[in-house]
Every structure is written in structure tokens, then in C-alpha cells.
Structure 1
Amino acid sequence: MSLISLDATITISLSVRDRHASAEWYENMLGFDTLYHADEAGWSELQTKTKGVTLGLGEHTKPAPGNCVPVFGVADLDGARQKLEQANVTFDGETDVVEGMVKTATFYDPDGNALMLAEDLSAGS
């Protein structure tokens, strides 16, 4: 039995210089469909060919090459974070909230690999 309950979604998050150009590349090269561009948040999301798996593109002026952060969907991020922290899991700073969109928290596995939890705050979720 796991410590927290994840939903059936995962977002693979990548850092890119230009989200719009990268989204077009993923559409043309891999056949992904752009779901939306959230310009105010510097985020774009594409549907992959795998059910429940999306590709998230975070815009950065100097993205770290080869980075990839799996983002696991969770219904109650605060509760999940509390349980993980009680189990001595290390988090990277405070929980980030984009009102009406998403709540996220980055944490690390025992080898220092970054992982993220995300709670969907959009209407109809």
C-alpha cells in the first residue's frame, strides 16, 4: 500500500526556450496535440498518444539540457505533501499555486531526482 493516492495522470515536464515553437515541433514530429498555452504562467501542455500522459513545456531562458520532471496528478496536494514530509521526503521550497489552474510541489527521491505533485484547480476537474 502506498503512502499517498495518485490519480491516473502523469505530465512529463520539460524546460524549453520557446514553448510555442517546441509545441509545434512535438505536433509535427510526434503527432501530439496542443491542449493549451498558458502564457501568463509560462506553460504549455500537449496530449501525447498515451491516455493520461501529457507533455508539459515550461519556458526558461536557459533550460537545463536533458532535464525531465515527472509530474504526478493528485487530488489533495496538501494532504499528500504532509504525509510525504512526515516520511522525511525532502521538498524544494513551498507549494506553488497558479490560481484557477494548478497547485504544484517539487520533491526528491533518495537519489536526488526531482519529481512533482500537481493538483488540478481548474473548474470541472
Structure 2
Amino acid sequence: MSVISPDNTITIALSVRDRHASADWYGNMLGFDLSYHMDEAGWSEVRTNTPGVTLGLGEQAEPAPGNTVPVFGIADITAARTALEAEGVRFDGETITVEGMVSTATFYDPDGNALMLAQDLSSGA
């Protein structure tokens, strides 16, 4: 028996300098939809393409980038990386592939938060 009983939602909180600009970036680069801006609290949320998973954007004068690494599943990591790089998104090294398992690529948002793309290779996808 667990101590708590979480529901089917996850919010991944990230520190950013400008919540409005970050929400726009996540919408334009990854196709996420704005849920809301709560200006009085310095907080915004965007819905990811995964049901129940939300990014929370907490505004900070000096963000603490790299404190979490959300991993987003992707059908074609090469095409996704190429599209992001074409928009000037910075990646950390090459795409890493573990044959028969997964390909991953770490990239950064405008505030230096690390994010990762992952393509599942275990089922021939």
C-alpha cells in the first residue's frame, strides 16, 4: 500500500526568466498549448502532448536551470532534432543510440533547462 495515491497528472516545474516568452517557445518549438498565466503568482502552465503531463513555468530573476530533465517520447528523433536545430535550438552533443533500446538527444530551452528527446527502439518503432 502506498503512502499517497497520485492521480494521472504530472507537472514538471522549470525556472524561467520570462514565463510568457517561455510559454510561447514551448508552443512554437514543441506544439504545447498554454493552460494559463497566473501573473500574481509568477506561474504559467503549458499542456504537453502527453495527457496529464504539464510543464509549470516559475518566473525567477535568476533561474536555476538544469534542476530536472523532462524526457519527451518522439517517433522520429532524427526528424525532430533536425527541425529544432533549424530553429536555432542548442543540443548537447550527438544523439546517443543504444541499439534495440532507445535513441536520446539532450537539448536546451532559452533559459538553459535541459530537456531530452527519446525514441523507443525496442519494438522496431
Provide the TM-score with structure 1 as the length reference. Answer: 0.53
For the Cα contact (< 8 Å) 1:14–1:58, is it kept in 2?
A: yes
Match of 1:9 in 2: 9
Report the residue type matching 1:26 in the other structure.
Y
Match of 2:112 in 1: none
Counterpart secondary structure, 1:8: coil
Bigger share in strand: 1
Structure 1 segments, 4+ long, off by >2 Å, are none
1:49 counterpart = 2:49: yes
Counterpart secondary structure, 2:7: strand
Match of 1:36 in 2: 36
Q: Distance in 2 between matches of 1:47 and 1:61?
A: 24
> 1:67, CA displacement in angstroms?
1.6
Counterpart secondary structure, 1:40: helix
Report the residue type matching 1:46 in the other structure.
V
Match of 2:67 in 1: 67
Where does the alignment leave 5 or more consecutive residues of structure 2 unmatched?
A: 71-125
1:19 counterpart = 2:3: no
Say what the alpha-carbon RMSD is for the aligned residues: 1.6
Provide the TM-score with structure 2 as the length reference. Answer: 0.53
> 1:23, CA displacement in angstroms?
0.4
Relative to structure 1, the CA distance from residue 3 to residue 69 in structure 2 (aligned partners, 3 Å threshold; closer, same or farther) is farther
Where does the alignment leave 5 or more consecutive residues of structure 1 unmatched?
A: 71-125
Q: Distance in 2 between matches of 1:65 and 1:52?
A: 23
